[in-house]
Amino acid sequence: IAIATWFSYRGYLETRVNTPYDVNKLVTASGLDVPDRYWGTYRSGVYFGLKTRDPHSLVTGLMWYFPHLLRQDRSGLRHWCEQNDRLDRYAWMEHDGRNFGVQEIVDNSAILTTTFVKRPGGKHGGDWTARISVTSEDKIRDGEEISLLFYTAIEENVKGWIKANLGDEKQLTGVEGNTQGLGSFIINLNMIHGTVEEHSFLATVAPGLNVLKETVLHNLRIAFHKGSTKEYIVLAGDQIPLSIDGKKRDANFIATQITGKIPFEIEISYESGSFINRVDKLTGQNYDRALKTHRKLFDEKFEKVFKLKSKGYAEEEIKFAKMVLSNMIGSIGYFYGSSQVQSQYTKGPVPYWKAPLYTAVPSRSFFPRGFLWDEGFHGLLISAWDLEIELDIINHWFDLMNVEGWIPREMILGQEALAKVPDEFVTQVNTNANPPTFFLTLHFILKHKQEEVLEKHFQFFDNLYPRLQTWFNWFNTTQTGDIPSTYRWRGRDGTTNKELNPKTLTSGLDDYPRASHPNIDERHVDLRCWIAFAAHIMHQISEMLNQPNNKYQETYRYLSDNSLLNKLHWSPNTHTYADFGLHTDKVLLRKVTPPPKSHAQPSETVRVVMEDPTLRYVDSSFGYVSLFPFILQIIDPDSPQLGKVLQDLTNPDLLWTKHGLRSLAKISPFYMKYNTEHDAPYWRGAIWMNLNYLTVRATHYYSNIDGPYKEEARKIYQNLRKNLIQNVFKQYKKTGYVWENYGDFHGEPKGSHPFTGWTSLVLLLMAEIY
């Protein structure tokens, strides 16, 4: 009996990691229940495409190439946003998250403008029309050929079908289909202006939505027009394979290609069969009018929310600000699938349950998927623009919480998302946290929304609250340190000799240097502040819900007690806040070459430790981590520590630059150091917007409450804010993009691009919304 019990207990432990928190989901309305957000540009990682908020949605999308440039290696076919495409720029310039969008894509001076407008009607999400126009900067590429492909695809083996409608000359006249969510529909393509050089189509079976581009590449042919020797690249037409029993299979991928000379413009109109009382079509001039109306409403709302005009910003700055917002909103995706997770009780990775995720993404090209702590920052901007969208995003994320109270850090759902992630990053481990930034979003909502609005969403908070409690509790029990009121990030590798300083991916600050020898004595000041902050917001929410719970208030008081904080984290040597742990600065990377004639290992780079580590404050890592008691506003306004933090903030040998605060002090021995032979410095000097935003927000806070450092805080507020805005804007004008981070010398752009995740918080700086 004992053995049987042990086995079942073991089984119970094994299943906890992928057991959902509860059967009652927070997302109760999705898909067709929310008709105005049914269709959208929810394919974050493609240049242009629409789908619906369904697990197995029909997808539509755009590809393009310049025939004379489609080189032997065929790398010129554009589909997924790729940095290697080296586009001059691309971004949603306007997008409201519901009705319409306007995007500009500049590919070697050819300008593709993609717009769409939705129209409600019927029972299946209504109609939409998209336009794709091609022009060129200063007309320099006018007359050149470009091929546009617009496609419709559906996963194989889901209910529903699509079919190519062919005219007398075997030309594609349109696509029709029927799926569970969409009912029956037709899609037509019209020429708006310009002439068609060549028009061909492809109807085939694509093995997956992750290989649509490859499927197109397989099906390109060379053709001639009657009586001409000019070669055209065309799509191969009907290519539907037979099934094993000799029957014709159904196409699940239909693409149409139009080759024209720049400038020209096409229109794709999608009409829902259930929309029966349509008075006119959303095409031609009707489309122009509808788009104009939506753009006007967008402008008005943008000014109402951010007030940039009345603050005196110039036209081009406002255009930039609209782009930053629109690309954040326009790259919100809808993903479906299951992550891969692991616990100490499972033998290896196991699948999480299948689930949808409606979320913004940090970067359309490099990371087109959800990241937990990024999303709490995105939530600030999104909730300022459209609260309902943000609450829906929060609900989706909290539905991903397991029974333990854990939410995985990175969400890689579905074939398209998985195709972008190297294997070693896929599995998520349930002992590992990531900063609970959704408390920032919730705090922001409580602070900025009027009482009526909050009352209207009472149910949202009420439903969320039990999950928040469990989430908070998960942090506050699994992430604690060895002595009371201390906390420690998990997931550091204490056994490696490959890294100069073992990474702390869980903290979000990856290679930011911590104690050199991770062990249980470590205490991390940033994590402690996150938990203190979370407790504070838990208290606020409990009060708002009329369920006051002293526990949160007490936890907050305890963790924000400055004398305790200072005892644990104020370094007496440097007079700065710091981590504590087993540490030495005397480490370096060295290439070790095997002795001659030994055919053991090839040469490799390893860490050499030149002195025994001791328990101490990690004084040599002054940077973002040291600022946490300040940026999460835990330091008492009249505390001398505040004065010292402010003084350090403006010191150019430490963090201050003309372009924002660098992540790690210039005088730190780890400043701009590689972590391994190949691992370039990431959070070791570069300027990141998320923590700069929080710092500006804190200087704003301390300049508005009484205390001896009020004036000092105000000065820093003004300068830091100005520096950050200026640099991000300047680099945008220079490079066409918003970037992941910026260099501390010249403010030069670094990392992936476009990165309109948290770097978009620049808009909240412009608008002074904190």
With CB under 6 A as the contact rule, which of the stretches 247-255, 371-379, 442-450, 708-716 interacts with ligand 6A9?
371-379
**Residue 107 to residue 65: CA distance in whole angstroms:** 10
Closest residue to bound ligand 6A9 by CB: 362
Q: Amino acid letter at 623?
A: G
Residue 630 lies near ligand 6A9 (rule: CB under 6 A):
no
With CB under 6 A as the contact rule, which of the stretches 234-242, 362-370, 381-389, 444-452 interacts with ligand 6A9?
362-370
For ligand 6A9, the closer CB: 252 or 756:
756
Residue 422 lies near ligand 6A9 (rule: CB under 6 A):
yes
Residue 366 lies near ligand 6A9 (rule: CB under 6 A):
yes
Nearest to 686 by CA among 619, 754, 760, 751: 751
What are 746-750's contacts with CB under 8 Å, separation 24+?
A: 746/659, 747/657, 747/658, 747/659, 747/660, 747/687, 750/686
For ligand 6A9, the closer CB: 183 or 508:
508
Residue 210 lies near ligand 6A9 (rule: CB under 6 A):
no
With CB under 6 A as the contact rule, which of the stretches 99-107, 246-254, 421-429, 615-623 interacts with ligand 6A9?
421-429
The CB-of-761 to ligand 6A9 minimum distance in angstroms stands at 13
Report the residue from 54, 374, 579, 585 that binds ligand 6A9 according to the rule CB under 6 A.
374
Residue 104 lies near ligand 6A9 (rule: CB under 6 A):
no
- Give yes or no for a contact between 409 and 506, defined as CB atoms under 8 angstroms apart: yes
Cα dihedral sign, 622-625-630-631: positive
Q: Which residues are within 8 A (CB) of 122 and not within 5 positions of it... i.e. 6 or more apart?
A: 183, 272, 273, 274, 275, 276
Residue 425 lies near ligand 6A9 (rule: CB under 6 A):
yes
For ligand 6A9, the closer CB: 312 or 422:
422
Residue 572 lies near ligand 6A9 (rule: CB under 6 A):
no
Nearest to 646 by CA among 622, 659, 627: 627
Residue 435 lies near ligand 6A9 (rule: CB under 6 A):
no
Q: What angle do CA 84, 94, 747 make, to 5 degrees?
A: 50
The radius of gyration of the chain from alpha carbons, rounded to an integer in Å, stands at 28
Report which DSSP code applies to 591.
E
**Residue 507 to residue 529: CA distance in whole angstroms:** 12
With CB under 6 A as the contact rule, which of the stretches 109-117, 370-378, 698-706, 729-737 interacts with ligand 6A9?
370-378
With CB under 6 A as the contact rule, which of the stretches 276-284, 420-428, 458-466, 615-623 interacts with ligand 6A9?
420-428
Q: How far is CA 410 from CA 369, 421, 748, in A?
A: 8, 11, 28
Residue 333 lies near ligand 6A9 (rule: CB under 6 A):
no
Residue 367 lies near ligand 6A9 (rule: CB under 6 A):
yes
The residue behind tokens 């079509």 is 281
**Residue 266 to residue 187: CA distance in whole angstroms:** 13
Q: Amino acid letter at 113?
A: T
Residue 739 lies near ligand 6A9 (rule: CB under 6 A):
no
Residue 489 lies near ligand 6A9 (rule: CB under 6 A):
no
With CB under 6 A as the contact rule, which of the stretches 173-181, 228-236, 360-368, 472-480 interacts with ligand 6A9?
360-368
The CB-of-517 to ligand 6A9 minimum distance in angstroms stands at 22
- Give yes or no for a contact between 439 and 467, defined as CB atoms under 8 angstroms apart: no
3-class DSSP assignment, residue 516: coil
With CB under 6 A as the contact rule, which of the stretches 166-174, 189-197, 368-376, 612-620 interacts with ligand 6A9?
368-376
Nearest to 13 by CA among 343, 339, 338: 343
Residue 9 lies near ligand 6A9 (rule: CB under 6 A):
no
**Residue 567 to residue 732: CA distance in whole angstroms:** 44
For ligand 6A9, the closer CB: 54 or 375:
375
**Residue 726 to residue 717: CA distance in whole angstroms:** 14
Residue 373 lies near ligand 6A9 (rule: CB under 6 A):
yes
Q: Six-digit token pair at 337?
A: 């699938």
Residue 508 lies near ligand 6A9 (rule: CB under 6 A):
yes
Please count the other Cβ atoms lying within 10 Å of the Cβ belonging to residue 241: 9
The residue behind tokens 């992928």 is 18
The CB-of-758 to ligand 6A9 minimum distance in angstroms stands at 8
For ligand 6A9, the closer CB: 84 or 195:
84
For ligand 6A9, the closer CB: 39 or 688:
688
- Give yes or no for a contact between 371 and 386, defined as CB atoms under 8 angstroms apart: no
Residue 45 lies near ligand 6A9 (rule: CB under 6 A):
no
For ligand 6A9, the closer CB: 352 or 367:
367
For ligand 6A9, the closer CB: 246 or 422:
422
For ligand 6A9, the closer CB: 84 or 310:
84
260: left (phi over 0), alpha (psi -120 to 50) or beta: beta
Paired with 616 in beta bridges are 581
**Residue 485 to residue 284: CA distance in whole angstroms:** 65
Residue 628 lies near ligand 6A9 (rule: CB under 6 A):
no
**Residue 3 to residue 1: CA distance in whole angstroms:** 5
Q: Six-digit token pair at 735?
A: 């490079």
The CB-of-420 to ligand 6A9 minimum distance in angstroms stands at 5
The CB-of-538 to ligand 6A9 minimum distance in angstroms stands at 23
Residue 371 lies near ligand 6A9 (rule: CB under 6 A):
yes
Residue 420 lies near ligand 6A9 (rule: CB under 6 A):
yes
Q: How far is CA 285 from CA 54, 247, 267, 289, 309, in A?
A: 31, 44, 12, 6, 30
- Give yes or no for a contact between 235 and 216, defined as CB atoms under 8 angstroms apart: yes
The CB-of-510 to ligand 6A9 minimum distance in angstroms stands at 4
Residue 474 lies near ligand 6A9 (rule: CB under 6 A):
no
Paired with 203 in beta bridges are 238, 254
The CB-of-421 to ligand 6A9 minimum distance in angstroms stands at 6
With CB under 6 A as the contact rule, which of the stretches 167-175, 304-312, 381-389, 414-422 interacts with ligand 6A9?
414-422
Please identify every residue annotated as catalytic.
Answer: 510, 740
Binding to ligand 6A9 by CB under 6 A, coded x per residue (else -) over 744-763, reads -------------x------
**Residue 676 to residue 258: CA distance in whole angstroms:** 49
Which parts of this chain interact with ligand 6A9 (CB under 6 A)?
362, 366-367, 371, 373-374, 420-422, 425, 508, 510, 757
